[in-house]
Structure 1
Amino acid sequence: MTFPGVWMTESASMIYRVVPKCACSTIGQIMFYTDHGLFFDGDIHDSTSGLHKWSQDESQKRIEQIVRARKAPAFTCVRNPYSRILSSFFDKIAGIQRNGRRYRGNLVSQLIQRYGIDVGSPESGFEFDQVTSFRRFLLFARDTIRWRRPMEPDIHWAAMSGQIATFIANGGHYDSIFFTETFNDGMQRVLDKAETPNSIALTDVPRFNESEGHGPKRAHKISEYFDDLSRHLIWEIYKDDFQLFRYDFDDPDNRMPIGEIDLEEVHAKLGR
């Protein structure tokens, strides 16, 4: 059994399947705090101790033991597909990463050449046609997901359902899946079920977003980025995300879910 993308507190109080662009930095820091009474100094994705991660060989046996025995509540968090793909574009494609470079080395230069994307630069104040460039990026994202070219799909824009499914397919079971849009309510329900060494007040937790302030700000409301073709592509890529996690496909500006997630349905459809 393998559980890629899974983090667990050292106290084995909770298990989290990471989904990028869905408050994963904040969730990781909350998990770290409940064990150690302080936040990790830096980006939680860079931590190599204080939190079990499947990517750390020494953590795998412990994670598998707890997952298989269902000894801790397992959860994940989802986000509106429209705002998630926009966030991926502004962070990973148009933005500068915390190391001062573009994401994945020459990826952006390839997109400029192959798809005609323009993302501006810090020197120009990130001035570019956001709508046109985003729609061209969306074509690229669809190509990576459907045909796996010109590269494998990146976890930041791969469908949430596909990433969440790996945990179920390999023998895991979610006790909770909650919405980024109602984060405190959902995270509190997880904490209420977990026996943690330290308590934490969610209202006092900062939002950890390492990319914020290192790229352009979104200049338009969400619906202005999605014409008919873009919405067709979004449905092609994220149909399961909209349906399973109860988001509104018809109104891109409605970020909020339009129903409750049915965990039994999620396990049945993603566990195949």
Structure 2
Amino acid sequence: VTSHDGFTLTDLVSYNEKHNEANGEQNRDGESHNRSWNCGHEGPTGDPAIIELRERQKRNFLATLMLSQGVPMMRAGDEIGHTQLGNNNAYCQDNEISWLNWENADQQLLEFSRRLVLFRKRHPVFRRRKWVQGGQLYGSGIRDIGWFKPDGGEMSEGDWRMGFAKSLGVYLNGNSFTSPDAMGEPMTDASFYLVFNAHHNPLGFILPAAEWGQRWKPMLDTYQTPSWRSGKTYRAGDAVRIEGRSLLLLRRLE
């Protein structure tokens, strides 16, 4: 999502344009195409609705990063809400622009990040040693990964070509490991279902058919603060409400 160059995570959701004037190059340096969105206002704001949306977007990005396959790369300071005030090329700023201030750390975001890292560590299904194949497992009809539409049906080849689609369901099978762990022991894990809604409106997302899982428990909802939760469970075919611009993670119980 972010790296040593470019916007910090906080700036990614706070600025549409780079602000590199302090670098002394008339704002000509640094990348101009940042794929960022300021959520309705450029830079700092006191608007509570914009602040809430920015915080949610940061949780969305961090959760997407930590629940993805491969090795996650997190820019130092993103976990505490560090800002460079829109400077996306702070190589020459050995000062408060680039320094990390732990005294002003966003403790709520830091705790969210810590729990994400711990969750990933506990569940190898999010850090497989080999890539998923999408094939059926041992003739069961259930694959190591499944992709779903809001109506609960699997995505077709044509669905992948819909440029306007802003939602997606992803099933990760915890019983599909084909390689052992680092110690040579067999691996197994729970199965999970991730729902992404990038639209600004809430969405009713139908859970997949029972062969993918009969009962599900919410684990993480980036719309909520705090985001980690449990309680109500859902059955296959139930409609789960996912709020606009949020991510929902459910764990298969049976």
Same fold (TM over 0.5): no
**Structure (1 or 2) with the greater strand fraction:** 2
- TM bin (shorter chain): under 0.3
TM-score where L is the length of structure 2: 0.25
**Structure (1 or 2) with the greater helix fraction:** 1
User: Rg larger in 1 or in 2?
Assistant: 2
TM-score where L is the length of structure 1: 0.24
